[in-house]
Amino acid sequence: MSRTPASDTLPRRQEAELIAAAAGVFRTGFPNPQRIGCPPQETLNAVARKGGGTAEGESILEHLTCCSPCFTEYERLVHKDKVSRNVKVLALCSSLLITVGLAIWFYVSRSQEGVRQPEPTIVEQPPPVQETPAPPQPPPSQYEVAVIDLRNRAPVRGEQQPAGEDVVASLPARPLELSVYLPIGSEEGQYEVQILREADTALVTARGSATFEDRNVVLRLKADLTGLAPGRHLVGIRKGSFRWMYYPITVQ
């Protein structure tokens, strides 16, 4: 059987280890404290950037193999040059990305401007209905308390005012809250009251309810005497459909 010839190339990992070991030897194995035969810094910079393509470059590379200080400086310059190139490439890529992004943004903006947005529909609202303010209400009348005592008084005959007859009460010409003490023997119930000056001419009419209070039958009602002329008048009182009973009063 024939044998396959062994490969002349080293594995990549072993090759890297060999190069690293050689570099370690070049860094420390050839000290040159007097820096004999060392090239100027500018020349070393040029070789680090461009390589040894010229006769001078080849001579300098050969010098690096026997001068550890120059080899260390050469490594530093090569690394610096690689970093600078990478930075330039990154800057170029960033510029391209920014340019492309601006171009896309400009295109999208112009496209959106070309599409006309529909104008919003304006809905006219009807004018608000103005409510008519309610007319001011007159202030409530202030009722004055007044009393008519008929417990020991007899009614006059008819509707004529007898001359010289004593009046049963003197009432002011204003809204009154009346308490009428009815004659003894009167009954509870609903009563009608009139204030008049002449027969069959009632100037004020009111109604109220009479109740038994502390052995008296008291009729309580409200009557507005505002506008009555001062002088003698009659107060007429009756219960239900009974006949009227009249008593003389004065209005002040």
Residue-level pLDDT at 155: 87
CB atoms within 10 A of CB 95: 10
Indicate if the pLDDT at residue 113 is higher than 50: yes
> What strands lie across the sheet with 169-171, from one edge to the other?
144-149, 175-181, 216-224, 201-213, 189-198, 231-239, 245-251, 169-171
β-strands 245-251, 169-171 pairing:
parallel
Across residues 67-81, what is the average pLDDT? 83
Is the Cβ–Cβ distance between 193 and 207 less than 8 Å? Answer: yes
pTM for the model stands at 0.44
Higher-confidence residue of 15 and 157: namely: 157
Residue-level pLDDT at 160: 58
Higher-confidence residue of 64 and 142: namely: 142
Cα separation, 143 vs 81, in Å, equals 113
Q: How confident is the model at residue 226 (pLDDT cuts 50, 70, 90)?
A: very high
Cα separation, 190 vs 241, in Å, equals 11
Indicate if the pLDDT at residue 51 is higher than 70: no
Domains of the chain in start order, with CATH, are: 12-84 (no CATH), 144-251 (2.60.40)
CA 89, 94, 98: angle at the middle one, nearest 5?
A: 150
Higher-confidence residue of 47 and 208: namely: 208
Is the Cβ–Cβ distance between 232 and 250 less than 8 Å? Answer: yes
Give the SS3 label for residue 204: strand
Q: How confident is the model at residue 225 (pLDDT cuts 50, 70, 90)?
A: very high
Cα separation, 128 vs 166, in Å, equals 66
Indicate if the pLDDT at residue 220 is higher than 80: yes
Across residues 41-67, what is the average pLDDT? 77
Residues 6 or more apart whose CB falls under 8 angstroms from that of 4 comprise none
Indicate if the pLDDT at residue 114 is higher than 50: yes
Higher-confidence residue of 91 and 195: namely: 195
Query: In degrees rounded to 5, what are phi and psi of residue 184?
Result: -60, 135
Higher-confidence residue of 66 and 186: namely: 186
Q: What percent of the chain has pLDDT over 90?
A: 33
**Tokens 């007319």 appear where?**
135
Cα separation, 191 vs 211, in Å, equals 11
C-alpha count within 13 angstroms, C-beta hemisphere, residue 155: 16
Indicate if the pLDDT at residue 143 is higher than 50: yes
Cα separation, 102 vs 110, in Å, equals 12
Indicate if the pLDDT at residue 5 is higher than 60: no
Strands (E), the chain: 144-149, 169-171, 175-181, 189-198, 201-213, 216-224, 231-239, 245-251
Higher-confidence residue of 16 and 96: namely: 96
* Residue 65: closest CA among 33, 36, 25, 35: 25
Residue-level pLDDT at 127: 79
**Tokens 């009602």 appear where?**
221
CB atoms within 10 A of CB 105: 10
Q: What mean pLDDT value characterizes the chain?
A: 81
Higher-confidence residue of 161 and 248: namely: 248
